[in-house]
């Protein structure tokens, strides 16, 4: 059967940076706004399921596969293709690999000797992505045994369903830092740059740019394809960001800007994230890690972030855990103590 994908009635030039919910693919293996800070809401496990691989045949599924589901694996040792023991323990180890759609490849212990030690039951967690779940296994033995369990090279395929509240599409993420205006004071289209390339926000941006914001587009059938004063209630749009890799993400709500064809465009002002901006336009001592710039006169701070809309995530393309990033720069102040 062919996969069943949701349709998005917009022009084809809109670039999707990370399609997290394009609808539901059929299972081919046997299976049954304000602009203030808010508390961070990081995704955790949202459900449980068990995937059983018996000695032969296709896998069977108990439960439902959704983004965030913790999947416990029951993998029969006979599938490994290797055997034997060493010091009373299996002399082989089976590694499982999976990806959802065009996302990252993830590894997990599946059977045999667990390289990490312990007796943890094999399991993995589905990332914040919906679509085709592709699985395959590789076994390596102490004495040179090597085998694959990949459905004769086709791999095993199941479906991760998109929650009903998710948008059908997220993408066209861009950054604009520009003094120019077009069409009665709006952003000039040519000034929107791909967000995957990052951004540099400096004193010129702070003082001279007319536009300095991150933008992206959202489509949800029956929601964004018409004017709706209650859109803020139907789409929970958040930016999760951090300046310190060792700290939890902070969160800001993202404002609706305008409808573009059947999409809703959202944007957040970079000035609202600027760690060097004082209320009077001066420079404050940042409470984030900074590094000296090349010229030695400035300091820079790097922000990492991703977007979440009703639970679906917008990240750099093909990376389930990737983050967008940009730098803020300011003149080094003798009165500041930098981290």
- For residue 37, how many C-alpha atoms fall within 13 Å in the half-sphere facing its CB? 8
Same domain, yes or no, for 237 and 95?
Answer: no
- pLDDT at residue number 115: 87
Q: Among residues 113, 139, 160, which one ends one of the domains?
A: 160
Same domain, yes or no, for 212 and 139?
Answer: no
Which pair of tokens denotes residue 61? 């599924």
- Answer whether residue 13 is part of any domain: no
**pTM reported for the whole predicted model:** 0.81
pLDDT of 43 above 80: no
On whether the CB atoms of residues 305 and 248 are closer than 8 A, the answer is no
Q: What is the mean pLDDT of residues 44-59?
A: 90
Same domain, yes or no, for 70 and 108?
Answer: yes
- Answer whether residue 150 is part of any domain: yes
Q: Which residues are within 8 A (CB) of 18 and not within 5 positions of it... i.e. 6 or more apart?
A: 170, 171, 313, 314, 315, 316, 317, 318, 319
- pLDDT at residue number 279: 66
Same domain, yes or no, for 220 and 320?
Answer: yes
Same domain, yes or no, for 156 and 197?
Answer: no
pLDDT of 153 above 60: yes
pLDDT band for position 119 (cuts 50, 70, 90): low
pLDDT band for position 81 (cuts 50, 70, 90): very high
78 three-state secondary structure: helix
- Domain assignment of residue 193, given as a range: 169-331
Same domain, yes or no, for 224 and 125?
Answer: no
Could you tell me whether strands 69-75 and 47-53 are parallel, antiparallel, or unpaired per DSSP bridges? parallel
- Answer whether residue 259 is part of any domain: yes
H-type alpha helices, 72-214: 203-207
Same domain, yes or no, for 45 and 109?
Answer: yes
- Answer whether residue 220 is part of any domain: yes
Q: Which of 309, 212, 227 has its CA nearest to residue 260?
A: 227
Phi and psi, residue 272, nearest 5°: -75, -15
On whether the CB atoms of residues 27 and 34 are closer than 8 A, the answer is no
- How far apart, in Å, are the Cα atoms of 268 and each of 152, 213, 238, 241? 48, 5, 10, 12
Q: Among residues 160, 185, 204, which one ends one of the domains?
A: 160
Distance CA 73, CA 53 (A): 8
Please give the DSSP secondary-structure letter assigned to residue 88.
Answer: T
Q: What is the mean pLDDT of residues 197-211?
A: 94
Structurally, how many domains does the chain consist of? 2
Same domain, yes or no, for 269 and 138?
Answer: no
On whether the CB atoms of residues 87 and 81 are closer than 8 A, the answer is no
Same domain, yes or no, for 187 and 204?
Answer: yes
Distance CA 174, CA 17 (A): 10
pLDDT of 13 above 60: no
Q: Residue 222, exposed/middle/buried by CB under 10 A (0-12, 13-18, 19+)? A: exposed
Which pair of tokens denotes residue 31? 């299976």
Same domain, yes or no, for 132 and 213?
Answer: no
Higher pLDDT among residues 12 and 248, named by residue: 248
Same domain, yes or no, for 185 and 286?
Answer: yes
Q: With left for phi above 0 and alpha for psi between -120 and 50, is residue 176 left, alpha or beta?
A: beta
Q: Among residues 160, 183, 217, which one ends one of the domains?
A: 160
């Amino acid at each position: 059967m062919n996969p069943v994908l949701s349709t998005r009635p917009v022009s084809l030039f809109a670039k999707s940076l990370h399609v997290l919910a394009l609808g539901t693919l059929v299972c081919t293996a046997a299976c049954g706004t304000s602009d203030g800070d808010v508390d961070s809401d990081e995704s955790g496990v949202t459900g449980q399921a068990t995937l059983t691989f018996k000695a032969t045949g296709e896998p069977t599924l108990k439960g439902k596969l959704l983004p965030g589901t913790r999947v416990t694996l029951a993998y029969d040792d006979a599938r490994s293709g290797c055997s034997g023991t060493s010091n009373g323990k299996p002399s082989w180890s089976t590694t499982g690999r999976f990806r959802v759609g065009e996302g990252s490849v993830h590894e997990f212990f599946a059977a045999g000797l667990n390289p990490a030690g312990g007796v943890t039951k094999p399991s993995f967690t589905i990332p914040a992505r919906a679509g085709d779940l592709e699985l395959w296994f590789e076994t390596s033995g102490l004495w040179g045994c090597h085998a694959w369990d990949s459905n004769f090279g086709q791999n095993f395929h199941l479906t991760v369903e998109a929650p009903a509240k998710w948008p059908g599409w997220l993408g066209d993420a861009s950054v604009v830092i520009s003094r120019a205006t077009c069409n009665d004071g709006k952003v000039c289209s040519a000034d929107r740059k791909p967000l995957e390339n990052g951004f540099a926000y400096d004193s010129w941006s702070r003082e001279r740019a007319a536009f300095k914001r991150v933008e992206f587009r959202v489509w949800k059938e029956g929601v964004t394809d018409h004017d709706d004063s209650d859109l803020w209630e139907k789409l929970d749009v958040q930016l999760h960001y951090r300046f310190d890799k060792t700290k939890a993400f902070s969160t800001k709500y993202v404002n609706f800007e305008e409808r573009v064809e059947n999409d809703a465009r959202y944007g957040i002002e970079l000035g609202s994230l600027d760690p060097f901006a004082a209320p009077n336009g001066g420079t404050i001592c940042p409470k984030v890690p900074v590094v000296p710039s090349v010229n030695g006169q400035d300091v820079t701070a790097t922000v990492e972030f991703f977007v979440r809309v009703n639970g679906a995530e917008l990240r750099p393309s093909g990376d389930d855990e990737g983050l967008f990033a940009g730098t803020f720069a300011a003149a080094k102040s003798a009165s500041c103590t930098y981290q």
